[in-house]
Amino acid sequence: MEWFSAENIVAVCTAVLGVLASIGVLWYERRVPRRKRIGYRVQMDTPIGSDVSEGRANVRLGLFSETPDMADATLVLLRVENDGSQSIADNDYTGRELHGLTVEFTGRTVRGIAVTQAPGADHLMEHFTPAGGMRHSGRLIRLPRVPLNRGEHFKLLVLLTGSHVGSPIRITGGIRDGEVTPNTAARPDEKPPMFGRAARLITVALTVCVVTLASIILVRDDTPPPMGCARGTLTVTGSTAFEPVVRELAQKYEKECEGSSVTVDAHGSNAGIRELADRGATAGKSGSPALIALSDGPKPDGYPQLRENRVAVSLFRLVVNDRVPVKNLSLATVRKIYRGDIRNWKTLDGPDLPILLVSRDANSGTREVFQRRVLGHNEPAQSSRDCVTKDDAAARVIRCELDSTDQVLATVGRLDGAIGYSELRSGTSLKGAHQLAIDSTVPSVDTIGSSTYPYREIEYAYTYGQPPADSLASSFLGYLSRGNGQDVIRTHGHLPCATPKGLRICGEE
């Protein structure tokens, strides 16, 4: 298992952050020295006088309108609370005078005071007496040494004159091992925060870690690598018909298996068989060469050292130039065309065009399959080098030979009246040509199991003897015939032998 992967690192960091946050909260609660603290805040500061010099118009009725000298009157609601972590007793106030706290209204004069307590805290009222130090003069209010349990509070509703709303209000006093300070709690008409600052920071950090981990998991490719990846170099040769499949498989294998290099060098089935046999004979006792030869159909009998692996059922097709509107030919008609009995398309209700046979060279497995499965005999001799004019005047038909399937398809699409053959190449379009049905059967992977379509063959992969189990040749061969390569084989129009339908067909033929 790869422990030092990106997702594992992020996951560990997320877990560590969560554990540290939990430990930190417990440590703070149990170990950090608890302070005593009295907090205060202004919950209301509003004008009730008739003076609108500050730009605040108001309407007064009843006692407010009858009270003299109230033109600049204001009402202040002040909340005083124990917002620390410990209770405060009357002897925790450190001032030398009888009172405990002093409230100062800068620029204003106190005209009246009303004290209110929280529900269930009626006992606090007995402390607000002149004997306890409760009094006021000018801008000051003296508050007695009121004991407050944790979270307890009382409020002062103060009638003031002499200044405008918003002038400074401050409470001073001394608390043993504590402080008196304005607090930041929300006012009644404000929405309290859902989380504290520390909680928000931890939540953001954990969210970033989780999102990062999820992104890595979504983006990465979880496709399992081929079983038994191997390092080294390998060459795959042989069939040009199967070359597109092998090139894509080689790229996928190299991407999934680090340290591997697979080169595709296709020159035809027979040429690949001969190259493998020669390389194996040269290697001698040094072992099987790093070479795989693909062949359209079985190898000749003269190579007993080569070990076969059935890979797929390959479908082939006849293709004709688009100037010829023919869509279907009987098997007997195809044989007559290649014998030279039919030499012009007008014989088959087509245009007045000579039939040009565009074929593969002698190394081609596609040609061998065509001769064995369709014609039942060899094609006629080559009679043209440019596929247009006869080099042999005695030849009954114009026939040329080309080195690859791509050349055949391009030439058939270019020359009027040309006919040739290739592997099916599912999903790709022909340029200037179209495929033919044989005896009204269209080649298709979907119908290959029950079709009597003749132009098909098993694709073989050959090695020289048995390659070592840990070699790249053995690993790639397994990838090709049994592993993830089956999907690629199927998309190119071939039926993998490892599938139930393919296993039956590959075993019968």
Residue 224 has pLDDT above 60, yes or no: no
pLDDT in tens, 227-250: 578 889 999 999 888 888 999 999
What is the residue whose two structure tokens read 């979504």? 218
Which of 44-58, 64-78, 112-126, 399-413 shows the lowest per-residue confidence on average (mean pLDDT)?
A: 44-58
Residues 24, 29: Cα–Cα separation, whole Å: 8
Q: How far is CA 213 from CA 11, 15, 419, 475, in A?
A: 7, 12, 58, 33
Angle of helix 6-31 relative to helix 197-219, nearest 10 degrees, comes to 170
Kind of pairing between the strands at 418-423 and 232-238: unpaired
47's CB contacts (< 8 A; 6+ apart) are: 54, 56, 58, 72, 73, 74, 164, 165
What pLDDT does residue 2 have? 47
Q: How many whole angstroms separate alpha carbon 371 and alpha carbon 365?
A: 10
For 112-140, the pLDDT digits (tens) are: 999 988 787 788 888 898 988 899 999 99
**Mean confidence (pLDDT) of the chain:** 84
Cβ atoms of residues 380 and 397 within 8 Å: yes
- Condensed to tens digits (0 to 9), the pLDDT of residues 57-68 reads 566 665 665 566
Give the residue with greater pLDDT, 52 vs 277: 277
Per-residue pLDDT tens digits for 430-484: 899 999 999 998 888 776 766 678 998 899 999 999 888 889 999 998 888 876 7
Helix (H) or strand (E) holding 365: helix 365-369
Confidence at residue 198, expressed as pLDDT on a 0 to 100 scale: 61
